[in-house]
Amino acid sequence: MSVRADDLLYLLKTRGPQNAQTLGAALGMTGMGARQHLKKLEEEGLVASFERREGVGRPKQAWQLTDKGHGRFPDRHSDLTLDLLSSVRELYGEEGLGRLIDKRERSAKESYGAALATCATLEARVEKLAVLRAEEGYMARAEKAPDGSFLLIEDHCPICAAASFCQGFCRAELHLFEEVLGEGVTVARTDYLLEGGRRCAYRIMPD
């Protein structure tokens, strides 16, 4: 597949549904050119179009990833992960699975904590955390909101299969962020893949 097509898939993954004109502008091409690429991706089953209303006037055509399109992004060998988790639950029960999640959280806390130790401000810690998560495949980025809070946005979840099997992974990650970002910080999940969101996002607020 051409780089241009991969760029379109990436934009739809990170920005959600878009019209061809917006996608073309982001890639330095015309809306017609973007639409031609989107049509090819549609033929491959990677994207689909739908009608949506934007202000007044007639609905406009927008494009979004299909399940197959989302599948183009890595998921860390989900079948093997699910098999291992099922085996842990079968052999050691819910308690054993919980201990596994706790061990993963402790290891991540140690690793993240060391990396964030040199960050002098909350903003720097959030940005560093986003870098660490991006390196792990979460397609993460940090944004500062006008009210002084921060957003940690993760456009992809490489452990989505595991999280779907046991949402304890998600609860552990939320607690982990609160731990490593320091005292006097509240972390609230604002978007959640497992509840129909297109991504996971967290609002980080100083108390």
Residue 76 pLDDT: 54
Beta strands across the sheet bearing 200-206: 140-144, 150-154, 200-206, 185-191
The pLDDT-based confidence of 166 (bands split at 50, 70, 90) is confident
Rounded CA gap, 100 and 36, in Å? 48
DSSP for 67-89, written as a single string: HHHHTTS--S-HHHHHHHHHHHH
Mention every residue, 6+ apart, whose C-beta is less than 8 A from residue 167: 194
Neighbours of 152 (CB within 10 A): 24
Torsion, CA 112, CA 114, CA 120, CA 123, rounded to 10? -10
120 pLDDT above the threshold of 50: yes
Q: At what angle do helices 78-116 and 168-180 cross, to 10 degrees?
A: 10
The burial of 140, by beta-carbon neighbours within 10 Å (0-12 exposed, 13-18 middle, 19 or more buried), is given as: buried
Q: Out of 63-67, 93-97, 160-164, 166-170, which region has the weakest mean confidence (pLDDT)?
A: 160-164
